[in-house]
Amino acid sequence: MTDAAPELSIVLPVYNEEENLPPLWQEIRDALDPTGLQYEAIFVDDGSRDRSAEIVREFRRRDPRVRLIKLKTNAGETAATDAGFKAVRGRHVVVMDADLQNDPRDIPAMLAHLEQWDAVTGWRVNRAAGDSWVRRLSSRIANRVRNSLSQETIHDSGCTFRAFRRECLRDLVLYRGLHRFIPTLLRMRGFRVLEVPVSHRPRRFGTSKYGIGNRALRAFIDLLAVRWMKDRQLRYEIAEELGGGAATQP
């Protein structure tokens, strides 16, 4: 890869995923190299306690398309996502999990939608193959509650496999936990967001970082914050404006 900015930046938050990273990086190359797309993969290590960062450094030694951002301590998925967003150079941006449950082969189709839409968010239509019935039921209930309070119609607000035009992220301000609500935050700013089906695969290595117990209450509080933001959003139309123009220095 030359010093020229790539067409695509892939942001991958990582927390203790040493076994998943080698097959994931291979899958990304298998999915994108045949397309001729110029891309970079930004692995954001969120204070992992295993060899995740070391593995990414080895990727980098072999392939300059790989970048590593290592956070000093575990700061959470929203922080890792935000750090990756601030480092992207591509015209388009994809964010995906590093646990192999997202399929990189979905990326080209997601990018194709960006010709008409500003952002694309995934909808895991085949969750029966990758999650237990408890997780599927809890997710279904959570989606209904979130849509009711946030006044949205998103089928899968828990899916963080997404693609964006880079300008969507320019002034995006995230707070802890709000990575789940990025589609809503973008719609509040007038961007067009499309939900599309994506593959969902069983976890092969490691364990999930989230469960019903450690996420339900926190997500509900975050949802109330998003609802407050929507209710307090400024809404006005200018009827007339005289004068103005660029300000000049005296």
Question: For 6-13, what is the mean pLDDT?
Answer: 98
Q: Looking at the predicted structure, is the pLDDT value of residue 222 above 80?
A: no
Strands 66-70 and 119-124 turn out to be unpaired
Domains, the chain: 8-231 (3.90.550.10)
Tell me how crowded residue 61 is: count the other CB atoms within 10 A of its CB. 9
**Residues 224, 140: Cα–Cα separation, whole Å:** 18
Q: Looking at the predicted structure, is the pLDDT value of residue 217 above 70?
A: no
Question: What is the structure's pLDDT at 134?
Answer: 45
pLDDT-derived band of residue 227, with 50, 70 and 90 as boundaries?
A: confident
The token pair at 220 is 């509900």
The backbone torsions φ and ψ at residue 45, rounded to the nearest 5 degrees and listed phi first, read -80, 115
Question: What is the structure's pLDDT at 240?
Answer: 84
pLDDT-derived band of residue 207, with 50, 70 and 90 as boundaries?
A: low
Question: What is the structure's pLDDT at 126?
Answer: 76
Q: Which residues contact 24 (CB under 8 A, 6 or more apart)?
A: 12, 17, 98, 100, 104
The four Cα atoms 58, 59, 65, 66 give a dihedral, to 10 degrees, of -80
| Per-residue model confidence as pLDDT tens digits over 80-139 | 999 999 999 999 999 999 999 999 999 999 999 999 999 999 998 876 555 554 455 455
**Residues 190, 186: Cα–Cα separation, whole Å:** 7
The token pair at 231 is 């209710």
CB 63 within 8 A of CB 28: no
Which one-letter DSSP state was computed for residue 5? P
Question: What is the structure's pLDDT at 169?
Answer: 96
Tell me how crowded residue 35 is: count the other CB atoms within 10 A of its CB. 13
CB 33 within 8 A of CB 1: no
Question: What is the structure's pLDDT at 13?
Answer: 98
